[in-house]
Amino acid sequence: MGTMIASEITATSFRHLDSPLGRIRLVGHDGVLTGLYLADHHRCPPALADWTLDEHAFDDVGQQLDAYFAGTRQDFTVSLELHGSPFQVEVWTALRAIPYGETTSYARIADAVGRPAAVRAVGAANGRNPISIIVPCHRVIGADGSLTGYGWGVEHKAWLLDLERDPASRLFAPLP
């Protein structure tokens, strides 16, 4: 994690996976994941001309996501590289500490990064998370327990939280 020097940059690969949430786009380089997006969502970056479509890239990520959606995996062990401001990376790192099946508030994340007054900035960083699910921004809820915004939509957030509460109930349950 950190800033890359131009000479360190390698070719970007991407691939698509089908999931219960819809088609997912994985993006990265050299087996290191830098993005996980809903492919048809407006926040998914377009594939750039210098990106290479490689349907065998990130096989480990695909296998771990399949196990997560099946309810048999709670933690991810894939190589990640988070690109953002130092504050965003700090927030995204704090998100990774939220245990599977649990939720926390934006205020608690702000406290965790040592900036208790930065609740709105935490919300903004949460919304810019480039590696959804693996960096579990869906586990952050309002202080009153409400399912406040989620980049992929509140219905997807609710679905993911339900999956983590009771994986068996979600196996065949479609999104609303």
Residue type, 113: V
- Positions marked active-site: 137
Q: Is 119 exposed, middle or buried (0-12, 13-18, 19+ CB in 10 A)?
A: middle
Cα first-last separation, the chain: 36
CB atoms within 10 A of CB 143: 12
Residue 134 in tokens: 């693996």
